[in-house]
Amino acid sequence: MRSIASDRRLVLYGLILVGLHSAAILLLNDILPEFDMVSHFWFGYVLSEYSSKGASALNLQRRLTRQFQKRGWTILEIDRKADLLVRLSGFLLIGGLFWELLEAFFNPLFGMPVDSFFSLPMTIVNVDGFLDVTIGSIGVIVAFAVSSRM
């Protein structure tokens, strides 16, 4: 947490996320329900950055690197694969489960319907959670691509 809180860029990303999601809930859901996708994309982007920074602070990538070295990959390949694995895992565990569970809890408080990601079979009626996680995953991949270029 300290590594994320001390990074002004990541704190700003979090504040933008809260602002986007608040605007979607309070103002835009009735007018433009698709705006929810912007929040989910940005959540994936931000959570990807948080996961990478937190894992780096815990040397998680270094531990994964040892496992990947046994397969004969180059150090650059290993670092990139470990970072992508950390980013996707962090998002899918925290974003896929935590975000969707929070929506299931808080949506009724705001008079919004609950769109459960966990209900099967998948139909056109309950596809919202799947789309949310998919759009967030795209945000993760974009964050990874952007960070790879820096």
pLDDT category of residue 55 using cuts at 50, 70 and 90? confident
pLDDT at 27 over 90: no
Which tens digits make up the pLDDT trace of 100-111?
677 778 778 877
pLDDT for residue 118 is more than 70: no
- Mean per-residue pLDDT for 76-91? 82
**Confidence at residue 74, expressed as pLDDT on a 0 to 100 scale:** 67
Q: What pLDDT score was predicted for residue 65?
A: 72
The alpha-carbon radius of gyration of the chain (Å, integer) is: 17
**Position 141 pLDDT exceeds 90:** yes
DSSP letters of 85-121?
HHHHHHIIIIIIIIIHHHHHHHGGGGTPPP--TT-SS
Lowest mean pLDDT among 24-33, 35-44, 66-75, 93-102: 66-75
User: Tokens at residue 140, please?
Assistant: 């993760």
Q: Which domain holds residue 132?
A: 2-149
Question: Distance between CA atoms of 45 and 36, rounded to whole angstroms?
Answer: 14
Q: How many domains does the chain fold into?
A: 1
pLDDT at 13 over 60: yes
Q: Is the whole model's pTM more than 0.85, yes or no?
A: no
